[in-house]
Amino acid sequence: MTAIRLLLVDDDPLVRAGLSFMLGGADDIEIVGEASDGAEVETLVDRVRPDVILMDIRMPSVDGLTATERLRGRKDAPQVVLLTTFHADDQVLRALRAGAAGFVLKDTPPAEIVDAVRRVAAGDPVLSPTVTRQLMDHAAGTAADTRRARARERLTALNDREREVAVAVGRGLSNAGIAAELFMSVATVKTHVSRILAKLDLNNRVQIALLAYDAGLVEEVEDDGH
């Protein structure tokens, strides 16, 4: 099995050392580089070609949000998991829209951080219940009507089956869960997800979920009792 290539980015050398010790012990994870600031990320991505970046959201020069946004336009950009000390950071939504695949709290148990890296490398987002609640609050917040209309207009690019998959992604289902619910193979689900990303010019499943929330589709499905 090919190891997951991981880049660590944090301005605190003690945090980097702890993460390196923790993650370096996993047989399927290879730490291919470290950086102390977001300004170094693009150069290191070119040099070491990571699959996943585990990056602090707050750094003194270029923070994790800006570094994530800079990676967004790159072809085959690595997945980004942001480290934060806050359960409800006010910049969560900005980061998710920029293409972050999820968040990990710095006090998360080591085994869960390792699992988060594995899940993101496999294409599954890492969103805590706190972040999910923020998405729901955001969908019902100010300017919701305008956001809903725009999101629904974008989703007209999808066919009915792709729309069903997008809603299932928004509900947090895994590929296997979507396959079971919609009576299709996991391979077919992956194909639909790839087509959704391409049609809507999105980076990852988290952004599909955001769009489904903005369009009010997840809320509609839950109200129907599914």
- Cα 130 from chain centroid? 15
Cα distances (Å, whole numbers) of residue 24 to 20, 39, 52, 57: 5, 24, 14, 21
- Cα 172 from chain centroid? 12
Cα distances (Å, whole numbers) of residue 189 to 162, 166, 183: 9, 10, 10
- The pLDDT assigned to 224 comes to 54
Tokens representing 212 are 């489904």
In 156-202, where does DSSP find H-type helix?
160-170, 175-182, 186-200
- The pLDDT assigned to 213 comes to 83
Nearest to 56 by CA among 75, 83, 32: 83
Q: Which domains does the chain have, with CATH numbers?
A: 4-136 (3.40.50.2300), 142-215 (1.10.10.10)
Average pLDDT across each block of 10 residues of the chain; the chain has 226 residues. List them in order: 91 92 91 95 94 92 90 83 70 76 82 89 71 58 71 93 93 87 94 94 84 81 53
- The pLDDT assigned to 144 comes to 64
pTM score over 0.85: no
- The pLDDT assigned to 127 comes to 66
- The pLDDT assigned to 147 comes to 77
